[in-house]
Chain A
Amino acid sequence: MPIFASKTECDDQLRQRIKEISGQEFQKCFQCGTCSGSCPMKEHINVFPRRVMALLQLGQKKALEEANTPWICAACHVCLVRCPRSIDIPRVMEAIRQVKLRENLDQVDPRQIEKEKIAELPQIAMVAGLRKFTS
C-alpha cells in the first residue's frame, strides 16, 4: 500500500526527535525489506519494520502512532545484524517507544497483571517488561 505524503503532512519535529533519541540516520534506509523478513514477530505486527522506516523518513506521525510494531518488538536485534546499511533498527523502535512513554503514557500497568502470572514469571520478565513498557 503506497504512502501518500505531502510537505505539510510531514512532521519534521518528530523525525528530529527520533533521530536524537535513537542516534540513527534512518534516511539511509533503502527499503530492502530484510528487516521485515527477519523479524520473528512479523505475524503479529500491523506495520512491518521496513514500512515503519519509510513512514519515519516521510514524517508520517499519524500512521506511526497506529503502528503496533514498537510495542510488539522484542528487541531481539536480528534486524540490526542483517541490515545492509547497519541501521540500528532496535534503537529506532526504542525511540518511538520512548516518545510515547515520556509523555507519561505507560503501556502496561503492573497492578493490572494477573497475580498468578506475577508469581510464575521469572523476575527478569517483570523487570524487562516494565522497562520497555513503562517510564
Chain B
Amino acid sequence: MTQETQAQGRSAAQDVAKDDSMLKQKAMMARHFDRLTSATERGEKVCSTFVPGNLNELIMCFDLCNNLPEVNAIQSGLRKKSGGYVMEAEKMGHSEDVCTYVKSDIGMMAKGNIAPNGKPFPKPDVLMLSYTGCFTFMKWFELLREQFGCETIMLHTPYEGDGKITDNMRSYMVKQLKEEVIPKLERVSGVKFDIDRLRENLKRSAQAEDDLVKVLQSGKNRRSPIDAYFGGIYYIGPIFGAFRGTDDAIDYYATLRKEVEARLAAGRGPVTPEGDMGEEKYRLVVEGPPNYTSFRHFWKMFYDEGAVVVASSYTKVGGVYDFGFRHDPQNPLETLADYCLGVYTNRSLPQRVDMLTDYVNEYQADGLLINSIKSCNSFSAGQLLMMREVEKRTGKPAAFVESDLVDPRYFSAANIKNRMESYFQMIDQKRPGRGFEGEAA
C-alpha cells in the first residue's frame, strides 16, 4: 500500500459512520456491564461461566446475570490493561507458563476488579463450571472458588475423542443437568426451574443462530462482504456472550444480516477500522484465537495487504452452527448437551482438520493461516500437524505465526509481519499461471 492510499484510508476511517449493528452491539455491551456492576445493589445474583459451553438460556431461567471471565480478559487486552494484570498474577505465584486469560482475570481482581465501565465487578454468587473443550477452565474456577468461596457447579462435557457424540455422552450430560446443575441453580437463585421458559429462550437462540450462520457463510462469496476473523469476533460477541436466547440477540443478528446482505449486493468488501477494505487480493482461512493486545495492529497487517479472512475456527469456539446444529426447544436439555459437546475445541483433531479443509475448499480460500497462541494448549497442541494435513489435502499453502491472547510480551509485530509477507508471496507463487505452479504447467 502506498503512502497516499494509507492516508486516504486514515481519512476514510475518520469519516466512516458506524454501522447500525456496531452501534447496537456497543449499546448492548454497555447495558450488560452496567447491569453486571449494579447487580448487587439491585439484588440480582451473578453467575460466572465460560464462553464455550455457555448455558445462557438456562442461566436466564434463574434470573441470574451472566458474567464471562474470558470476555473480561479480552476487554482487558483490548484496553491494554492485561499486561499489568498478568504480571500481577505472576507476582502472586502463578506460573509464567499458564493461560494468560486466567492470570489477567486474577490480576484484575487483585487490582480492584474493575469492569470496562469503570465500576467494580460484583462477586459471583455461583460459578457455573461448564467444563467444555479446555482443561484450564477446571483449574480457573477452582482458583476463583478459592477466592470467592461460592457455590461451584461442575458440568463435565466429555471430549469427542472419536469424532462423534455418543448416547452415553449425551445422557451423562443430561443427567448432570437434571440432577446437579438445575437443582443447584434453583438453590442459589431461589427461582424454580421452568422448562417452558427454557424452551422460549432456546427458540430465540435458534432464530439468532440462523442469521449468524448466514452472516458467516457470506464469506463464501467472491468478494467477501465480511472478515470472518477480526470482523467475526465482533459478530460472535452477542451470541457467545450474555445475549444468546434474548430478543436483543435476535434484533442484532437480523440487523447485521441485512447490513451484510446489502454490502454483498453492493459488491463491497468488509468493514475495517479504516473504513471499507480495498481490493480483495488474498482469501484466507484462519485457525486459532487472535491476539487482543495488538488486535488492530494485527488486523492491519491483513487489510493493508488486501487479505480477507473468509472463514475461521475461532468464530466456532462458542458454538458450531454452520453444519446444521441449532438449539432445539423441543429437546431442551439434550440440545444443551449437544451444544456443549459440539463446540470447536471439544472436537477431535481429525474433526478440526476436516473442518478447516472444508473451509479452504468451500470458501475458495488461498490457504490456511494458523495463529498459534502460547496460552491455549487446547487450540495450539497439534496445530503444526493440522497445518500439514490441511496443506496436503487442499494443495493450498499454509503458514504459522505465534502470539498470545492477552499477554503483550508475546506479540512480536516485526516477526509476524515478516512471516505474513512471505506467506502472501508464497500464495502468489502458487497461483495458477504464476510462479512455480505456472512454470510447472
**Do the two chains belong together in a single complex?**
no
Chain B residues packing against A (C-beta within 8 Å)? none
Contact residues of A with B, CB < 8 Å? none
